[in-house]
Amino acid sequence: MTMRYRILGGTGIEVSVHCLGAMMFGYVGNPDHDDCVRIIHAALDQGVNFVDTADMYSAGESEEIVGKALKGRRDDVVLATKVHFRMGEGPNRSGNSRLWIMKEVEQSLRRLGTDWIDLYQIHRPDHTTDIEETLSALTDLVRQGKIRAFGCSSFPTAEIAQAQHVSERRALHRFRTEQPPYSLLARGVEKDLLPLCRQYGMGVLTWGPLASGFLTGRYRKGGAIDLTTGRAAITPHRFDPSIPENAAKLDVVEKLVELAGDLGCTLPQLAVAFVAAHPAVTSVITGPRTMEQLDDLLKGASLTLDDAALDRIDEIVPPGTDLYQPNVWQPQALVDPALRRRPLAERAAAG
């Protein structure tokens, strides 16, 4: 197995094409700290130098585990974490305000046991905070040496473009990376988000290459799908084969399993290799819960898909097609009906 490396956007930082995601480390996934540390060390020993976590993963436990694992190895790792989601009761303990970012970065540094974060990411947009305030706070953290660069995660294309414009207009540091969901079943980002990232020279580290388990081979057409365990228990509507949209995904999975067999690889290895093949993608985040899952994914680290294989994938799932909708941020214009409807009195008067 030969690990490949790429430059992360315009940062000059060289990162492995496989990024170790730490979301499953802690009570949400694997509560055994020693086992998680062994998984992290195994990844590092096989050439992975990029680790991604977040403050909210297992309520800070993931960052603590990563901090334990990186003792004595910190200088060899590009460490990324995120801020945005609620981290406790009461006001001002979430979001993208200067107040919260400045508070929470200190907590992440403490949990991670480090003096600096290589890539600090805004986990989701925040419609209550002016993007200039967020960028100004992050710029100050770079100047203070507490973070090396910053990026965003699951931001809509328009919000990324706005942030780039504000950075230029106000002479602030800018988002250097974006972390979107991207997989064989979720190719919508190919339409405009990935081209926009290339336009601005942003590095892209993708999440969800296994589409919440659909591309692990665990869920197969005609097989028994247990809706009471794993991810299916959390969102059964996403896996219930009686729902037409899910049946369509299972049909596609069968075709992809056949392709993987022809290529002599597993379905998860095919899924990761596909994402890594896009010219906008720098690194693919995979979040193993066990050593076995890590081993299977890294066995395909050197897998390269040729044009014939990619053409077959395009026939199975056309470019830009979303068969699977990742659970990402929704614009307030869709969430709040008041932003889509004139006041009733005004509507009645107009009639």
Q: Give the other-Cβ count within 10 Å of 47's Cβ.
A: 16
CB 42 within 8 A of CB 294: yes
Query: How many Cα atoms sit within 13 Å of 122 on the Cβ side?
Result: 32
Please return the burial class of 27, using the count of CB atoms within 10 Å of its CB with bins 0-12, 13-18 and 19+: exposed
Q: For the chain, how big is the Rg over CA atoms in Å?
A: 21
CB 328 within 8 A of CB 154: yes
What is the amino acid identity at position 82? K
Q: Considering only CA atoms, which of 193, 194, 235 is closest in space to residue 213?
A: 235
Q: Which helix (H) or strand (E) holds 33?
A: helix 33-45
Catalytic, out of 5, 57, 219, 324: 57
Q: Give the other-Cβ count within 10 Å of 235's Cβ.
A: 12
CB 91 within 8 A of CB 99: no
d(CA 153, CA 208): 12
d(CA 190, CA 192): 6
Helices (H), the chain: 33-45, 61-69, 98-112, 131-144, 157-169, 193-199, 230-234, 244-263, 267-276, 291-299, 307-316, 332-335, 344-350
Asked about 120 being catalytic, the answer comes back as no
CB 68 within 8 A of CB 33: yes
Q: Considering only CA atoms, which of 29, 324, 25 is closest in space to residue 183?
A: 324
Task: Tokens for 341, please give them.
Answer: 């409807």
For the chain, report the end-to-end CA distance as a whole number of angstroms.
Answer: 69
Which residues form the catalytic set?
57
